[in-house]
A and B are shown apart, each in its own frame.
Chain A
Amino acid sequence: MTHVSETNVERTVDTAAMQVSTTDVAIEVIGMHKWYSDFHVLRDINLKVMRGERIVIAGPSGSGKSTLIRCINRLEEHQEGQIVVNGTELTADLKRIDEVRREVGMVFQHFNLFPHLTILQNLTLAPIWVRGIPKAEAEATAMHYLERVKIPEQAQKFPGQLSGGQQQRVAIARSLCMQPRIMLFDEPTSALDPEMVKEVLEVMISLAEDGMTMICVTHEMGFARQVANRVIFMDQGQIIEQNDPENFFSNPQHERTKLFLSQILH
């Protein structure tokens, strides 16, 4: 077995609680294609994610990983095929898009917190103005999630005053405040200092233990091995290989996958 060089999370992950539904489909992508003007960036993507599943998408840069998950909440538009999220098909219909986005949280590589608002305001903005939750209740929920990501004392600060790891934890809490059914992570630890990767991964693991449906684009192979129940490998806009983590890492099939793993695992 290869040795994984990336951050290993020390505690054992409680996999027993992580139930995956066999009947409830969270996301279904069928024959999806996407172009950036003439560039065919995603080709014939087929993907079915069950409720409670935790999927890690790996692949070289430019392989279309981020674009794929950005299509799932329509930050990017696809041109062919179907994407169905929580039973709603994504089309140009703005109402449907907002409906899907309300239920799908997203965490970005560069956090994208709102710099002009305090941490608490960052967390309560969407619950108040999208869900119509009263301010006091939204703040209580926000404090609950800030405690969960272990930084309740930062509530009154501005994002610029926090470290990268803290900002990313706030970003996760901000998404959770909308109580989404699916979470998308777009390289959540890639912009962090090495010392801060672990604190963010810890939060993601505890989310997984609660049974959240998650799709993570990440280079943290230690995380993939411990938490994912499926690893997807992409290259040139296509899904090249997918398998459970055990077989994916120890017995990769495709030549490209083998090459990729040999580059990042030593």
Chain B
Amino acid sequence: MTMDIGYVRTDFVPAKPAPGRTGGPILWAQKNLFSTPTNALFTVFGILFLLWAVPPLYNFIIGHAVMPGGTVEECRAEGAGACWAYIYARFNFFIYGFYPIEEYWRPNIVFVMLAALIIPLLMPTAPFKRTNALLFFVVFPVVSFYLLSGGVFGMRYVPTEQWGGLMVTLIISLVGIICSIPLGILLALGRQSKLPIIKTLCVLFIELWRAVPLITVLFMASIMLPLFMPAGTTVDKLLRALVGVTLFSSAYLAETVRGGLQALPRGQFEAGASLGLGYWKRTYFIILPQALKHVIPGIVNNFIALFKDTSLVSIVGIFDLLNTVQSASSDIEWASPTQAVTGYVFAASMFWMFCFAMSRYSLWMEHRLDTGHKR
């Protein structure tokens, strides 16, 4: 329709539904896989790569693999795949380390408590959040500590040297994550402080820990520290590693959180201040909820890195998941060509499972917390 000068609209155009998707799978493939010669070439190479890589992988993991219940002879046979029978046989070692077999019920209770408390805590709609948080952050660590180490209520004392496997990996990463959150937030706030002494201390702390490799921190904690301590006093090796990992992680977290603090417009601080809210209330109710939400991807990135870095504690003689897998791979009883590889595939998939879960949870949380103020 042409519009003359002096045009006046007489009727409004009603909203119509958007044109739907057209065409079947062939059209879809044309549009997405073969739209240009270059794309077609990439598609062909992609398919060739999958044809080359997938069948041997499948054969190793499932096709020719020796499933639980199999024998070591089958694993030693020519062309045998992954030796899952070996993983099955040593599974308890990978989960509990050298923890005495007759005491397995103690870590088992801890695992159950952990699952029962952490799942509702992570579900925003679950009731009794306050009680739940209190149980998880205060009661659970104390109970777990006494359950695992024993020495009370007639439970046999199990020194931390005997703890190991996934249990230790989870302990180190959970303690590291939970303790480094408040510490990291305080450091980030301190670094932005107007008080020069607090600011300097926070900057020094953060820069010191960030500039040192975690391996060095762990070595210092386990080998150097005892040299400086008065003779006779000892600090548990696992505890030293825990402190080292936590402080290390909190320095990284502080910088992530600081990024979130800086992304907030000044008006948010000012609006809070003009209402008479003091520094801590302003920070708690207005600044942190927004700043932390902005940096969820960064924070989870830190946590995933921390979870994987726990495997470094093996160099100071702590038997975490990876270290138990590694030491079991020299087990003569199960010696076979694929023994070590199977172990590493198992360890990798365990690590992947936890890290992937964290990643998905954070994505979901981001969407949930989006209150649509992006404009």
Contacts and interface: CB of A to CB of B under 8 A. Distances in A.
A107 to B, nearest CB: 9
B54 interface: no
8 contacts: A75-B274, A98-B276, A101-B274, A112-B267, A116-B371, A160-B373, A160-B375, A178-B275
Interface string B262-289: 0001011011111111100100011001
A126 interface: yes
B372 to A, nearest CB: 4
A213 to B, nearest CB: 16
Contact of B277 (A116, A125, A161): A125
8 shortest interchain CB distances as A-B pairs: A160-B373, A115-B373, A112-B271, A112-B267, A126-B275, A102-B276, A106-B274, A101-B276
Contact of B278 (A98, A113, A175): A98
Contacts of B290: 114-116
Contacts of A98: 276, 278
Nearest to A100: B276
B277 A104 contact: no
Contacts of A174: 275
Nearest to B285: A125
Nearest to A171: B271
A73 interface: yes
In this complex, the interface size class of chain A, counting residues with CB under 8 Å from chain B, is 20 to 34
Given A105-B275, A106-B271, 16 more contacts: A73-B274, A75-B270, A75-B274, A101-B273, A101-B275, A108-B267, A108-B270, A112-B267, A112-B268, A114-B271, A116-B293, A125-B277, A126-B276, A129-B281, A129-B285, A178-B275
Interface of A: 73, 75, 94, 98, 101-102, 104-106, 108, 110, 112-116, 125-126, 129-130, 158-161, 174-175, 178
A75 B274 CA distance: 8
B374 interface: yes
Q: Interface SS of chain A: helix, strand, loop or mixed?
A: mixed
A158 B373 contact: yes
Contacts of A104: 274
B1 to A, nearest CB: 28
Interface of B: 265, 267-268, 270-278, 281, 285-286, 289-290, 293, 369, 371-375
Contact of A130 (B271, B281, B374): B281
A178 B272 CA distance: 12
B270 A175 contact: no
Contacts of B374: 160
Contacts of A129: 277, 281, 285
A59 to B, nearest CB: 21
Output the residue of B271, B272, B274, B371 with the most chain A CB within 10 A.
Answer: B274
Contacts of B372: 158, 160-161
Nearest to A158: B371
B61 to A, nearest CB: 45
A174 B265 CA distance: 19
B273 A75 contact: yes
- Residue of B270, B276, B277, B371 ringed by the most chain A CB atoms within 10 A: B276
Contacts of A178: 275-276
A75 B290 CA distance: 21
Interface centre among B270, B271, B272, B293 (most CB of A within 10 A): B271
Contacts of B270: 75, 106, 108, 112
A116 B372 CA distance: 9
Contact of B371 (A94, A106, A115): A115
A105 B275 CA distance: 7
Contacts of B286: 114, 125
Chain A CB count within 10 A is highest, among B281, B285, B374, for B285
A115 B372 CA distance: 8
Nearest to A130: B276
B267 A125 contact: no
Contact of A113 (B271, B281, B375): B271
Contacts of B272: 114
